Amino acid sequence: MPRRRSPSSSSATGDRSGGSAVTPRNRTPQPVRIRRRTFGDFVKAFFAFVALLVLVVGVPAALATVAGWPLPRTFEPMEWLRADVSVQTFQSILVFFVWLAWAQFTACVLVEMKAALSGVGVPGRVPGAGPSQLLARQLVAALLLVGAVAGSFTPGLSQLGQGIEGNQQATAATAQQTPGLFAQQQEQAAGAAAALAEQASHAAAQAEAGGGTAQRDDTKFYRIQPPEGRHHDSLWEVAERHLGDGRRYKEIFALNKDRTQPDGSKLSEASLIRPGWIMEMPGDARGGDLVEMPDDAPEVSPDVQQQIHDYARTGEHAQGGGGGAAQVSVPEQRPAPEQHPAPAADHAGHQQPAPAPAPQHATPAQDTSSSFGLPEALLTAPLLAAGLLGALGHRRRQALWQSAFGAVGGRRGMEPPTPEGDAQDVQDALLVGADPEGVRLLDRSLRGLAASLAAESRALPVVYAAWLSAGDLHLQLAQPAGKPPAPWRLGQDQTFWTLAKDDAGGYEDVDTAAPYPGLVSLGTMDDSRLLLNLESVPGIVSLSGSEADRAAVFASVAAELATNGWSDRMTVTLVGFGEDLTPLAPNRLRHLDDIEALLETMEAETRQRRGALGAAGHDSVLTGRTGPARHTRWAPQLVLLAAEPSAEDAVKLAELAADASRLGIGYLVGTGSGDLPGAAWEMEITGEGKLLAPLLGLELDAQLLPAAQQRAVVELFVAADPDRGPDGPGPVNTPPFLVDISEQGRPAVYARLVGPYEIIGLDTPDGERSALLHEALALLLLHREGVHPRVLSSALWPRGVTDDVREALLDRLRAWLGTDPDGTPRLGTDRTGRLTLAQSVVSDLDVLRSLYHEATQGRGVDSRAVRGRLLTDALVLVRGPLLADRPEGRYRWLTHEIVDAQLPLLVADTGLALSAFHLEKGRAEKAIEALDAALRTAPADERLWNELLRATHALDDPSRLTALAADLIGRGGARGLPPRTEALLDELLPAWRDAVGSAAAG
């Protein structure tokens, strides 16, 4: 897997100016030699074995023989208290503590032995066992020093006497060896100072060893030597010889991890190295058996020279990165399963496997063709598209319900406005690009982790970022936080917690607050999607670049924060946005006019949060987010400042942001110069869509929302605003497609969608293709305005499909539907290239809409008889829910639709209209029949229940009305009756509470 390392400042400058990368200087190679085991090493190992044998086996044997078992044979506390205190009592207590010390030392030996033999990670700490664990470590190290498994992790006996804390102190290379995002930010100020001091000591050692012969810009190599006897070369010993500290083996490991070795294999574990492998060394390495860039290396064989040359080309120093710089790499990924092309005969079957694994940087429904005019920015932003699509559907459903209950005067339509132009393209792009399943897994995984940590009484770790790689989730922590709860596991190092996609599917919804609501997508790198946790940044995140490019990044960040599915509550403050994005989420987004208003607002918010944290006794919002107040406090405050602040305002922002990460406040600030006071992380957006962070080692394909798509997205949300009245000519409730409901309008193809799916007028396709063709036809029938080819293919194949598979399906669909008598194909395309059905292909939903429209706005307005007949015919068409017998796992695109809200409302309106028709003539029983029929499809519609109460009251039968009231109360459960229903009962049956209580008691 590719690795990335941020270039040094000089090389980064050179890259911008077009200069060449820094080229390592050639040095005269030195002959290769290895350190052999001496007789003293074997003597140390023998005495270590004897000491361990005495301490682990001899001590308990002696205690058992002389003093016996330390615990009493019976458990009688009262007898113990009454017994006399004698010398024997003190001896028993002393023996008990000796047994306890032995048990602690034995545990230390086991921990150290396990770590040494496994070769993975740093040994765990046994509580309260500082000196004991140090002694155990030295004895185990000496014992295994002559073996093949211990060298990479255990120091020699020469280090005896150093404290455990000293052994565990972070070196200057900690940030360098930690793959992932923002490694250098993992150390606080004290850690940074220690790192600088250690670097200074290394520089001094270089000067003593030969002045300028080992500069940071040099690139040196070491060749792993073959074993001699029982001695095997190890990274620990290499680091000890050439870097002065065996613990710096991690730097060597980080420089060479996943690079192809001469034998074709790769380094994946620090303890698993092979003779003949080549290791690139840090720039300050020194010693006689190192080989520098061997352009002129007579002491090294030509074969070895060529191997080192080839190996050097795989390193990032070849691109200008100096050795020892802090690096960032994406998490380790599991190998993708091999994909085999499907045979041609299966092109139309849904058994067709995805042509390639769906990478996180691409749309889940990846097509190999062009975008057909759809905006690529949304096609390649699956999480953003899913959030926008979900929020838009929620807004449209809200508008439907408000319209149905008369909350918006004059707007009674069952259909949302049909978008056109850019808005239509953007809506199609959202349908194609959205990955709602990925959002659901991310949300459940994060909440499940929070619930597990809370159950273990553990605080949430600080998370800098999340990576989505091939469906797996990797959380990058600010610092190690121990072992994660299952099914999470440690990743490539202690700062990564990883959850496999298959394990994430096992999570269910849990009642806990969103732990990391500030995560937001920035872009992709190496097939991995990066989500930055804005609220955890220790300061300001600055974004430089042209104003238009910055605006596209800011709009993407704001839109995703406003609509994502892994957050509960937050406030996103927007300043300096050309297009006001607040219509996307008025409850989350807050627009301020200028920086002055922002500073005033955030000063008050910072003071309030500091006081609240102090009063609650929490160190940070993370410790309070899983507590009892998790649903009412500690929601993040995220500031997106697109306008460049003045120097004075920048200083004030830096002061506010100094403690922001603890308070759950994040700042993303735009700047034209790239130099912003208080910026903890600096990023740059280029005109080519690259998001660069040189000091962090990031080069992402940025996630953007350009101005044109931003305006179109806002237009979709404004048009769906439930508080926005109708505009434009014509009635607002006219369906987009009306059919001829007379005898002359009999269709050639009739599909029954309301209830079990049936098709009349077409032959049934063969078994393999029938399900897919039926699903495609259902999608087209529900969108008479036209369906984009990519929307159709993404609906049928969410994981992706190739051009030939899609075209084969369309050809079979055209052949199946056939042509009209005049030769016109029943499946055609409009001027925009969208697929449309001929008017001779009709569904019962089309007929239902047309009957209701004709009864309430057409001929039924002037003719009572016609109105009653049309409404009765419409209600007869309702046989159940939409596509009632659809197969499990298919028709998932229905989750993006609002037809599940439209159909119940349409049926309810039809039932209400027919009930009113019958009540006009006093036919209460007929009205009740119509309402009961509508309630089978829309059982939650309060309007139907209220009208049913009125119709039952018209029967003048109090007992029947009381029974209906009791039924309503039972349906309401703990929530009780809706206020309007309760008020209606007070009017129709004033004593209903007593009557219902008596009926229930009887």
> What is the spatial distance between Cα 442 and Cα 468, in angstroms, rounded to a whole number?
9
One-letter identity of residue 378:
L
Check residue 967 and report its DSSP letter.
Answer: H
pLDDT at residue 33 tops 70: no
The answer to which of 104-108, 186-190, 541-545, 938-942 has the lowest mean pLDDT is 186-190
Q: Quote the pLDDT of residue 247.
A: 73
In terms of DSSP bridges, do strands 528-533 and 463-469 run parallel, antiparallel, or are they unpaired?
antiparallel
- Considering the entire predicted model, what is its pTM? 0.65
Cβ atoms of 764 and 770 within 8 Å: the answer is: yes
pLDDT at 87: 66
Phi, psi of 601 (to 5 degrees): -65, -45
Confidence of residue 687 (pLDDT cuts 50, 70, 90): very high
* Distance from C-alpha of 525 to C-alpha of 528, rounded to nearest angstrom: 5
Instruction: Extract the tokens encoding 779.
Output: 């999608």
CB 589 within 8 A of CB 563: no
Confidence (pLDDT) at 971: 82
Q: What is the mean pLDDT of residues 134-154?
A: 58
**Residue indicated by tokens 């029974």:** 963
In the chain, count of helices (H) and strands (E)?
34, 24
pLDDT of residue 214: 36
Catalogue the E-assigned strands of 753-910: 758-760, 827-829, 835-837, 841-843
User: Which of 74-78, 92-96, 517-521, 677-681 has the highest average model confidence (pLDDT)?
Assistant: 517-521
Strands 637-641 and 841-843, by their bridges, are unpaired
Alpha-carbon distance of 742 to 180, in angstroms, equals 68
The whole-angstrom separation of Cα 252 and Cα 242 is 11
Q: Which residues does 329 contact at the CB level (< 8 Å), separation at least 6? A: 1, 2, 3, 4, 179, 180, 526, 697
**DSSP notation for 919-933:** HHTT-HHHHHHHHHH
pLDDT band at residue 8, thresholds of 50, 70 and 90?
very low
Cα 804–chain centre separation: 32
pLDDT of residue 675: 77
Identify the residue whose tokens are 């959002």. 439
Indicate the range of 277-291, 351-365, 757-771 predicted with least confidence: 351-365
Q: Which residue has the higher pLDDT, 127 or 9?
A: 127
pLDDT at 91 over 50: yes
Instruction: Count other C-beta atoms under 10 Å from residue 726's C-beta.
Output: 16
Residues 674-700 as b or e (16 or more Cβ within 10 Å = b): eebbbbbbbbbbeeebbbbbbbbbbbb
Residue 331, token pair as written in the block: 């998490």
Q: State CA 488 to chain mean position distance.
A: 14
> Residue 982's Cα: distance from chain center in Å?
44
As a whole number of angstroms, the distance between CA 663 and CA 607 comes to: 10
The percent of residues above 70 in pLDDT, for the chain, comes to 72
What confidence score (pLDDT) does residue 200 get? Answer: 39
Higher pLDDT, 362 or 541: 541
For 587, residues 6+ apart whose C-beta sits below 8 A from its C-beta are: none
Identify the weakest region by mean pLDDT among 9-18, 485-494, 700-709, 967-976: 9-18
Selection from 288, 225, 226, 246 nearest residue 151 by Cα: 246
**Strand, helix or coil for residue 989:** coil
